[in-house]
Amino acid sequence: MIDLMKSVIPYISGLYTLPWIVVGFIATIILSRIFSPTKVEAVMKKIANIVLYLFVPPLVFRIFLDTPLSAKEGVFAVVSTFTIGLMYVIAYVYAVSYNKKSDVSETNKTLFTKTMITSQGRSTAFIGGVMLAVPSWGVPAGIFMAVYGIFIFAIVPVILGKLDKQGSSSNVTKSPLPWILRAYPWFFAVAVLAGFIVQKTVALTTTQMGSWGVIIKFYTSLTIPLALYYVGSGIHPSDMKLSEIKILFGITKEEDGHHWSWVRHIFIMTTMVTPIIITIIFLILMNIKALNFPSEWFAVSVINSILPITSINIFLVPYGIDKRATVHSITWSTIFCVPIVIILVPVLSKLLGQM
């Protein structure tokens, strides 16, 4: 059994995992024809929670356990915090600029600002998790993922609350995030810290654990195929409507108030403006040799900036964001960004590996 696990691990832990997106996409189409799409979606949500708690943190723990860490990882944690903070600032500035030209009510301006800011929450745990398949990217990807989780689940709700008090939508019903999501970033952070502590104190790696090390590697390597299967299952052909594409890109005039205008600007801000700004900044930092900037920092930061909007943002609706605009933005950013990420990961891993 151990020998079988050893032979399978290379095929479930590297870039070989990318086709699992296609597998998830096709399998969900088939299952939705056998069972009701609602039931299939409900099961996939439960699977998502299982992957979030029982697979992603152990994988990150193993990566930190097997990687000697230095002060530069602490520097990247600061860089990640700055990068993610900058992404939310970009969203806020974009929203303010849009609102100045808009003739909607102050209440709707506040609603748009909060929805725009929330849209910078990216799918780091699932789609971004593919970066963990590249060995040299594992630690920085794990750090970025941990910081992003804290932003999405702990910091953004506070920001939304403060913006709501400034606007005129004080009658919006407030309810907290589900405990399973509120606890996740801290659970994830504990996994990162535990891996770091064990590595620093006893210098124990999975290679030194013999058969148990193989079992741990096999179990944690299942994370990426499972996560990518989930990503593929979330792409529904029925969402790819030509009529919506035309409205999204302004080819057809919208007939639904400000809705599609909001979706269009969220789409532009998240898939174009933000990645371009982040890429330019990181290219400059690499070229001037700032912070002795490693190429894997560039890859992890740039790919994270173009990840699609996370579906978990739907849970922030009670904090006063536009649900319908958020749903459409998630759908179209996923359809647009997933293929780009699938291409960028192998391309950048090869290009930067030769630098």
The number of beta carbons lying within 10 Å of the beta carbon of residue 264 is 19
Residue 309 pairs in a beta bridge with 122
Residue 122 pairs in a beta bridge with 309
Number of alpha carbons in the 13 Å side-chain half-sphere of residue 138: 26
* Both tokens assigned to 231: 């990503």
C-alpha to C-alpha distance for 178 and 164, rounded to whole angstroms: 20
Which whole-number Å values give the CA distances from 85 to 45, 151, 182, in the listed order? 28, 8, 19
C-alpha to C-alpha distance for 27 and 32, rounded to whole angstroms: 8
* Both tokens assigned to 247: 């409205």
Rounded (10°) angle between helices 179-201 and 56-66: 20
C-alpha to C-alpha distance for 61 and 208, rounded to whole angstroms: 16
On whether the CB atoms of residues 302 and 275 are closer than 8 A, the answer is: yes
On whether the CB atoms of residues 149 and 121 are closer than 8 A, the answer is: no
pLDDT in tens, the chain (355 residues): 888 888 888 777 766 777 888 888 888 889 888 988 888 878 887 887 788 788 888 888 888 888 777 778 888 989 999 999 999 999 999 999 999 988 778 888 899 999 999 999 998 877 887 787 788 888 898 889 888 888 888 888 888 877 766 544 444 444 456 777 778 778 878 888 888 888 888 878 888 888 988 999 899 888 888 888 887 777 766 667 777 777 777 777 766 667 888 999 999 999 999 999 999 999 988 888 766 788 899 999 999 999 999 877 887 887 788 888 988 898 889 888 988 988 898 899 888 764 4
Domains by residue range for the chain, with CATH: 2-235+242-348 (1.20.1530)
pLDDT of residue 89: 96
C-alpha to C-alpha distance for 90 and 85, rounded to whole angstroms: 9
What angle (nearest 5°) sits at the alpha carbon of residue 309, between those of residues 325 and 32?
A: 80
pLDDT of residue 104: 78
C-alpha to C-alpha distance for 240 and 148, rounded to whole angstroms: 29
Specify the 3-state DSSP secondary structure of 122: strand
pLDDT of residue 271: 94
The number of beta carbons lying within 10 Å of the beta carbon of residue 271 is 21
pTM of the model: 0.82
C-alpha to C-alpha distance for 214 and 5, rounded to whole angstroms: 7
The number of beta carbons lying within 10 Å of the beta carbon of residue 57 is 25
